[in-house]
Amino acid sequence: MNKKITFSVALCSACVFAQTDEVTSYDDAFFDEPATVADEPAAVGEKPSKPSDVTVLDGLSVEDESEAEATPVDTKTKAESVKVLDTKELQGSSATIAEATNRSSGVKVRQSGGLGGESKINIRGMEGKNVKVLVDGVPVDNGNGSLSINDIPIDKVDRIEVYKSYVPERFATDGMGGVINVVTKNLFESSITGSYSFGSFNTHKASLDAKYVWVADSAKQRTVETGISAYYNYSDNDYEFTTPYMDTTVTREHDRYYSYSISPFVNLNNFWFDRISLGASFGGMNKEIQSTAHRVEDAFAEAWGYGVSLGLEKKDLFVKGLSAGLSLNFNYAKDQVVDTSHVYYYGWDKTNFKESKGVSGEISMGSATFIERENYTLTMPWNVDYAFNENHSLTWSGLYRYESQDPVDKLAAKGQLLNNAGFPGYSHSVVTGISLENNFWDKRIQNVAGIKAYYYSIKADDVDGKLKRLTDDDATNKDIGYSENIRVKIIESLALKGGYQHSLRFPTREEIFGDGVYVQCAPNLKPEKSDNFTAGAELDLDKIPLLLKMHLEFNWFYLLMEDRIYWNNYASVPRPYYNSVGTITSGFEIDAAIDVNEYVALSFNLTKQDAESREADMSFGIAKGLTVPNTPTFYMNFGAEFHIGDLFFRDDFFKLYWFANYTDEYYYGWKVSAKQDRTIPSSFSQDLGVEYSIMANKLSWSFEVKNFTDELVYDKYGESKPGRTFATKIKFSL
Q: What is the DSSP string of 465-480?
A: T-SS--S-SEEEEEEE
Q: How many whole angstroms separate alpha carbon 293 and alpha carbon 56?
A: 24
Given a contact cutoff of 8 angstroms between Cβ atoms, the answer to whether 341 and 347 are in contact is: no
What single-letter amino acid sits at 71? T
User: Assign residue 27 a region: left if phi > 0, alpha if psi is -120 to 50, beta otherwise?
Assistant: beta
pLDDT in tens, 243-256: 766 677 888 889 99
**List of E strands, 272-321:** 273-288, 300-314
Residue 71: pLDDT over 80:
no
Residues whose CB is less than 8 angstroms from the CB of residue 217 and which lie 6 or more positions away in sequence, other chains included: none
Other beta carbons less than 10 A from residue 378's beta carbon: 14
Residues whose CB is less than 8 angstroms from the CB of residue 572 and which lie 6 or more positions away in sequence, other chains included: none
Positive or negative: CA dihedral 422, 423, 426, 429: negative
What single-letter amino acid sits at 567? W
Q: How many whole angstroms separate alpha carbon 652 and alpha carbon 646?
A: 5
**pLDDT of amino acid 473:** 85
Residues whose CB is less than 8 angstroms from the CB of residue 574 and which lie 6 or more positions away in sequence, other chains included: 467, 468, 514, 517, 518, 519, 520
Backbone angles phi, psi at 493, to 5 degrees: -100, -5
Q: How much helix, strand and coil, in percent to the nearest 5, is found in the chain?
A: 5, 55, 40
pLDDT in tens, 370-427: 999 999 999 999 999 999 999 999 999 999 999 999 998 888 766 666 777 888 999 9
pLDDT in tens, 625-674: 888 888 889 999 999 999 999 999 999 999 999 999 999 988 877 766 66
**pLDDT of amino acid 119:** 75
Q: How many whole angstroms separate alpha carbon 311 and alpha carbon 324?
A: 11
- Give the closest residue to 401 by CA, choosing from 381, 384, 425, 374: 381
What single-letter amino acid sits at 528? E
- Of 468 and 155, which is predicted with more confidence? 155
34 in helix, strand or coil? Answer: coil
The whole-chain average pLDDT of the chain stands at 83
Other beta carbons less than 10 A from residue 535's beta carbon: 16
Given a contact cutoff of 8 angstroms between Cβ atoms, the answer to whether 227 and 185 are in contact is: no
pLDDT tier at 93, thresholds 50, 70, 90: confident
Positive or negative: CA dihedral 4, 148, 90, 497: positive
pLDDT in tens, 116-147: 887 788 899 888 788 888 888 888 765 433 34
pLDDT in tens, 158-187: 889 999 999 999 998 898 999 999 988 888
Positive or negative: CA dihedral 715, 721, 726, 729: negative
What single-letter amino acid sits at 242? T
- Which helix (H) or strand (E) segment holds residue 101: the answer is helix 97-102
| Chain-centroid distance, C-alpha 502 | 22
Q: How many whole angstroms separate alpha carbon 381 and alpha carbon 310?
A: 11
Cα distances (Å, whole numbers) of residue 649 to 644, 692, 694, 695: 12, 11, 8, 9
What single-letter amino acid sits at 397? S
Q: How many whole angstroms separate alpha carbon 513 and alpha carbon 11?
A: 27
Please count the CA atoms within 13 angstroms of the CA of 245 that sit on its side-chain side.
19
Beta-bridged to residue 634, according to DSSP, are 608
**What is the value of pTM for the model shown?**
0.86
**pLDDT of amino acid 95:** 86
User: Assign residue 62 a region: left if phi > 0, alpha if psi is -120 to 50, beta otherwise?
Assistant: left
Given a contact cutoff of 8 angstroms between Cβ atoms, the answer to whether 241 and 250 are in contact is: yes
Beta-bridged to residue 645, according to DSSP, are 653
